[in-house]
Structure 1
Amino acid sequence: MRGRRAQALRDVHDHHAASLWRFAMSLTGDAAEADDVVQEALLRAWKTPKILAEPPEEIRGWLFTVTRNLVIDRTRSAPRRREATVDELPDRPVADRVDDVLDSMMIHEALATLSESHRTVIIGAYYQAQTVADLAARLGIAEGTVKSRLHYGMHALRLALKERGVSR
């Protein structure tokens, strides 16, 4: 039985392989893929004994339908749809900075409401990364005064931000 099926498959191959390959090539545009599709179509014929029992001339339509369906299935497959080759990598996405800009504007407005002495120590400590000792030396005041101004200045800044709707 197996010998007859093998001979039947050889007959089908001899009769249809070249025209199936040309058909698959016209659909795929790729010789290697056309080879794979024809091989799979012939394998399906091998797995369908009633097809191999037919004379090779009468299964042409079935083979072409299977070939077309295989090409469609390969085109719709997940790896095929997701793979895309490009010459250059796409630009990296840039984060939207609108929130940062709005926060910065709100803090700037709130700082403007503070007294000059409070604003100076807060900007020096938090934006210029100066130590209490550095600020005291630069401003010519005691370190305790700098600490006091930072404490009351931050309290006033929190209140100014709270008035603008900032809750944290």
Structure 2
Amino acid sequence: MLKVTRNLVVDRVRSAATRYETVTKVTHDVTQPDSTETVLASLEFTRLLGSLSSEHREVLAPTYLYGRTDQETAEILGVPAGTVRSRKHYALVKLRAQ
């Protein structure tokens, strides 16, 4: 989940840069957050996950927390792999929008 949160932050910074918005300078390495940032990111991500449907949450956990492929996740959930990809896509779209 932390990786997804980090990717969302990186995406936001990159999109701001392409729109020529002012982006504050990062004074530390964002790939290695300190414990405070980790806790805050976890709390924020937990809040964001609560806004997703259960179908979307159950796809994100095996994929991002356990590193499973879409096919492995599909077998675990008993749904087609295309459904896993679709749910994952729409879950990430909703997370990015928030």
- Structure label with greater radius of gyration: 1
Determine the structure 2 residue equivalent to 1:153: 91
Relative CO higher for 1 or 2, CA cutoff 8 Å, sep ≥ 6?
2
Determine the structure 2 residue equivalent to 1:108: 46
Residue segments in structure 2 that go unaligned for 5+ positions in a row? 1-32
- Residues 45-78 of structure 1 deviation map (CA, whole Å, 9 limit, x = unaligned): xxxxxxxxxxxxxxxxxxxxxxxxxxxxxxxxxx
1:117 aligns with 2:55: yes
Determine the structure 2 residue equivalent to 1:138: 76
Matches within 5 A, 1:3-152: 96-152=34-90
Q: How big is the shift at 1:96?
A: 4.4
Indicate the RMSD between aligned Cα atoms, in angstroms: 1.4
Cα 1:99–1:138 shift into 2, 3 Å: same
Percent identical residues: 36
TM-score, length basis structure 1: 0.38
Q: Distance in 2 between matches of 1:103 and 1:146?
A: 25
Q: Which runs of 4+ in 1 moved over 6 A?
A: none
TM-score, length basis structure 2: 0.63
What is the aligned residue count? 66
